[in-house]
Amino acid sequence: MPKPHNQPHSEADWHALLAAVKEATQRAEKSIDRTIALCDASNERMAKVEEWTKKDGDRMCHYDPKGGF
């Protein structure tokens, strides 16, 4: 029975495939870790902004069409 075209044909082929999968998985994990770190930093900044606005009231400038800011 012939082997399917897309499957490795030798032990070396299997090892090469597994090595490639392992490397790709490590790259994906690092990318996910960077994304999580960026989200955590963003959440920290947003928490500080929220704390700042609640502490002293909303300091943001609001545009008044009749009188400007």
- Asked whether residue 10 is assigned to any structural domain, the reply reads no
The per-residue pLDDT for 54 is: 79
Q: Quote the tokens at residue 40.
A: 């955590």
What does pTM read for this prediction? 0.57
The per-residue pLDDT for 56 is: 64
- Asked whether residue 25 is assigned to any structural domain, the reply reads yes
Chain segment 27-47, per-residue pLDDT in tens? 999 999 999 999 999 999 999
Chain segment 7-24, per-residue pLDDT in tens? 657 889 889 999 999 999
- What are the residues facing 68 on neighbouring strands? 64
- Asked whether residue 65 is assigned to any structural domain, the reply reads no
The per-residue pLDDT for 15 is: 93
Q: What is the mean pLDDT of residues 36-65?
A: 80
Collapsing DSSP to helix, strand or coil, 68 comes out as strand
Number of domains observed in the structure of the chain: 1
- Asked whether residue 23 is assigned to any structural domain, the reply reads yes
Half-sphere exposure of 47 (CA within 13 A, CB side): 6
Rounded Cα distance between 26 and 34, Å, is 12
- Produce one character per residue of 34-52: b if its CB has 16 or more CB atoms within 10 Å, e if not: eeeeeeeeeeeeeeeeeee
